[in-house]
Amino acid sequence: MVTVSPLTPEGSGASLLRFVTAGSVDDGKSTLIGRLLFDGKTVLADQLAQVEEASRRRGLAHTDLALLTDGLRAEREQGITIDVAYRYFTTARRAFILADAPGHAEYTRNMVSGASTADLALLLVDARHGVVEQTRRHAFLVTLLGVQHVLVCINKMDLVGYEEARFLGVQAEIRAAFTHMPRVELSFLPVSALNGDNVVGGSGNMPWWSGPPLLQFLEEVHVPAAKTGRISAATARAPGRFPVQWVIRPQSAEHPDYRGYAGQVAGGEFRVGDEIVVLPRGLTTRFRSLDTFDGPLDVAKAPTTVTMTLENDLDVARGDLIVTPESLPTVASELEAAVCWTGTAPMRPGARYALKHTTKNVGAFVTEVLARRDIKTLEEVADGRPLLTNDIARVRVRTTSPLVFDPYLDNRATGSFILMDEVTNETAAGALIGA
């Protein structure tokens, strides 16, 4: 049985799995998550009462479990998901953070946010309709974001008579859609979220299916050591990376000469006495101390928040990257990246945008669209047209001062950035370097 834990997943003793729902609108993502929470006994009485009342106001004869994850009033009124809804629960075997992402094309940016820290994507497909354009877009985006495990839940099997032939047909469609994404590990599961078939328990309606139900699959699926924040297992083993967020200079009588550099370790680990390099200027020194709120450390590993002091009095500023010298990142003012264009205004070639990368903010120009991804075929197209909302493309970017970065698949924190419209402050694009 699933039990509600008073602790966040990071505080529990179980291993942690982060997963995100993906897929087109009305494929049943929120209903599936609501069914998982309800059948797993994780719904508190007052939450269920609110959902039952909201269902009655909408004239429904049944309790709409999708409302368990629709937290915004507009979501409950319209019966759609607008923002990412996060839920936390534990079983005896694992702790979970789930992100219920919207399916509407106009909210693709929210889906990208929810998938950016996921270990696994739960891709919903309506058994009646099969693969549609938004299914392809979400599938491509989760793989672009480095999510290597995709569980395809072919939902609404009750509306196709629980037919095995229809399940196998949609499965074949999905496999064909993923031919351009060879890094992905695919699994399949036939479900009816509305009726609870193959969600927490099995299904007597599909005797031809011998695989585990959804909850058991989530408990048993093997993924690399869990992510915390944006730090993946690979990042934790990577060379040391520390973006400087805040320079601490109290200049008090008690600490007249103290100079510390605060932030979160974004890769690898650092030890007192280690030689380090401060980029982009290439200054070298060693650590004097690693301080936290709970006291000093000998070793600071990703994703520890720490204040570092150095042996030498160097000019280190917010946005600089402190690294270990054995494998240096790239320092450049021109780079190529994959972008998901989320702005409402079309991309203007040559226009200036604000770029945020780790703790650094600089000006940037999209100098060239190298290729746009055709969502229907997943082929790259070089047609020269400006990027529109939800377009996915490879672009060339030039910045007003150098960035220090790694490929996204090596380090999510130092391998990604966002572009913002300098006039409206709207997020124009999320970008993955070298993806």
Fold classified for 9-220 = Rossmann fold (3.40.50)
412 — phi, psi (to 5°)? -65, -35
Residue among 29, 25, 7 nearest 16 (CA): 7
List CB contacts of 152: < 8 A, sequence separation 6 or more: 123, 125, 171, 174, 186, 187, 188, 189
pLDDT of residue 46: 58
- For the chain (435 residues), the mean pLDDT of every run of 10, in chain order, is 37 72 83 81 60 64 62 44 72 87 66 82 94 86 87 96 97 88 86 92 94 94 57 63 93 76 95 95 95 94 93 93 94 96 88 96 95 84 87 94 94 94 92 89
pLDDT of residue 137: 84
Helix/strand/coil for 52 = helix
Which stretches of 134-282 are assigned E, i.e. beta strand?
Answer: 149-155, 185-190, 241-243, 246-248, 260-264, 269-271, 275-279
pLDDT of residue 282: 95
pLDDT of residue 42: 61
> Yes or no: is domain 330-433 CATH 2.40.30.10?
yes
Q: What dihedral angle (degrees, nearest 10) is formed by the CA atoms of 413, 69, 111, 376?
A: 150
All structural domains of the chain with their residue ranges: 9-220, 239-323, 330-433
9-220 and 239-323: identical CATH topology: no
Q: What is the DSSP letter of 347?
A: P
Side-chain-side CA neighbours of 349 within 13 Å: the count stands at 10
Secondary element (H or E) of residue 145: none
Euclidean distance between CA atoms 245 and 320, whole angstroms: 8
> Yes or no: is domain 239-323 CATH 3.30.10.20?
no
